[in-house]
Structure 1
Amino acid sequence: MKPIAISAVHQFHETNKAIFSEIDGWMVPNRYAEIKDELEIVERFVGINDVSSKVKLIIHDEDAVGVLSEYCEIVSGNNCKVMIMKSSDYGFEFILNKLTSNQWLILGDQHLKKILIQIEKKGIPFVNITSGLTGIRLVGPKAKDIISAISSFDIRDKMFPNMSVAQISVMHQHAYLLRLDIVGKVCYEIYVGREIGLYIWNQIIALGNSMGIAPIGNQIIKQIITDGAKA
């Protein structure tokens, strides 16, 4: 039987009776409540979603965009800091985030592994940090309040608009912060070390109780994206 990967937050999911599904070898929460209830959470308050199953790569190369452009096209981007790219051969999309002049964070699903061979052939140094990071997504009108409660980083729209990335401190711990709005809904993704993932998750829940925070699964995210594409 093929081993199934679980995130550092799996204990929380089980305790809160999440309904799971297996995606690309990971056990992920599909939903916790009825879809209409989770939709109300992201419409009125803030939903917290585990995105630890995303493939996460660190690439060291000043011309990462140029190299990847040989195999992929840029779908959208913001001042070359955060770009959505699409594989020309396989059709999947991933997110390329510029951290420093020669360091990039790539996020995507398991299809992303298909271009690793091409990256290796180019001799570009990279590190697969998928299992080392816990990913936490916050989506909804109260998401900004949550970020402000856990970090002093300036997330005002003029300083940190949609399609932005930064390395910040969250509760005195290093973190990657991205703003990736979903169909007009404010959305942030936070990536922290796996060893503190459950702690950070629980602290966010505790701080967000007064803001109506509640866990949501992947199903509602997919539905929001699908409904947005139809609109």
Structure 2
Amino acid sequence: MPSPQKQSSVHAAHVEHGAVMAHKDGWVMPERYADLNDEVSRVQQGVGLTDRSDIIKIDVKGSALQTWVKQTFDADIKAQEACRGITDDGTVRICCLMRVDWGLMIVPTPHTAERVDTLMEQAPGALHMTDVSSVYTALQLIGPRCLDVLQKLTSLDLRPSLFSNLTCKQGTIAKVPGLMLRDDLAAYPSYWIFITREYGEFVWETICDVGKACDLIPIGYETYRYLTT
């Protein structure tokens, strides 16, 4: 019997707009919207929007959070900063410290359900970890015109001097409460947006609509993989 497959809150919009869907890590996600070379070229010149809701997302709370981050990621960060680490098996983890006692850890690399359990088992007793992978819709903007789009969607001050790489903030995006993380790729600026699932499709459609003037296109994970390798 086949295993059940999860769907992003944006699934209906992907199908409606002609995305080629495929199975990925237990989810049904958009593989591509158009030709790979065309998507890559347009992102390099403008901005791409991709649905990353399939990634692991773990809510982390506790008074020992900063100590755990320092020990686990070898990083001394404060509130509204993030850090990145790679485990011995190549798993990429990013921890966003929203407050000194609350953060969001994401795992953007391929994973399994067992990987979620392993990550949560590593938490010391002073921390409380909750798998919120199905709670948050995760969207990612990539490309040189990211800021042109975001400035139309949020009142957060995203000037590079105040919102540099591996910085995170709470605020509203398209009038919806959410979290934002700047996580630049090697050659392109990149911003994660996390909103609760019930607002996922609305925020996706709003970003697509606002982004038309900035040459924004939706992209699938095939293009994302090309841009990150």
Fold shared, TM-score > 0.5 on shorter chain: yes
Question: CA–CA distance in 2 between the matches of 1:126 and 1:203?
Answer: 32
Number of the residue aligned with 1:115: 119
Task: Quote how far apart the aligned CAs of 1:4 are.
Answer: 0.2
Task: Quote how far apart the aligned CAs of 1:73 are.
Answer: 4.2
**Letter of the structure 2 residue corresponding to residue 87 of structure 1:** T
Number of the residue aligned with 1:60: 61
Question: CA–CA distance in 2 between the matches of 1:112 and 1:14?
Answer: 28
**Letter of the structure 2 residue corresponding to residue 125 of structure 1:** H
Question: Residue 211 of structure 1 is aligned with which of 206, 210, 214?
Answer: 214
Number of the residue aligned with 2:18: 17
Task: Quote how far apart the aligned CAs of 1:115 are.
Answer: 1.6
Task: Quote how far apart the aligned CAs of 1:67 are.
Answer: 2.9
Q: Secondary structure at the match of 1:150?
A: coil
For the 8 Å contact 1:78–1:164, the answer to whether it is kept is no
Question: CA–CA distance in 1 between the matches of 2:182 and 2:225?
Answer: 18
For the 8 Å contact 1:73–1:87, the answer to whether it is kept is no
Pairwise mapping of residues 1-40 of structure 1 onto structure 2 (< 5 A)? 1-40=2-41
**Letter of the structure 2 residue corresponding to residue 5 of structure 1:** K
* 1:171–1:68 CA distance, 2 compared to 1 (3 A): closer
Number of the residue aligned with 2:87: 87
* 1:127–1:205 CA distance, 2 compared to 1 (3 A): same
Question: CA–CA distance in 1 between the matches of 2:70 and 2:97?
Answer: 15
Question: CA–CA distance in 2 between the matches of 1:115 and 1:207?
Answer: 37
Pairwise mapping of residues 92-171 of structure 1 onto structure 2 (< 5 A)? 92-109=91-108, 110=111, 111-119=115-123, 122-171=125-174
Quick one: percent identity of the two aligned structures? Answer: 23
TM-score, length-normalised on structure 2?
Answer: 0.89
Q: How many residues are aligned here?
A: 222
RMSD (Å) for aligned C-alpha atoms: 2.0
Number of the residue aligned with 1:229: none
Unmatched 5+ stretches in structure 2: none
Task: Quote how far apart the aligned CAs of 1:181 are.
Answer: 0.9
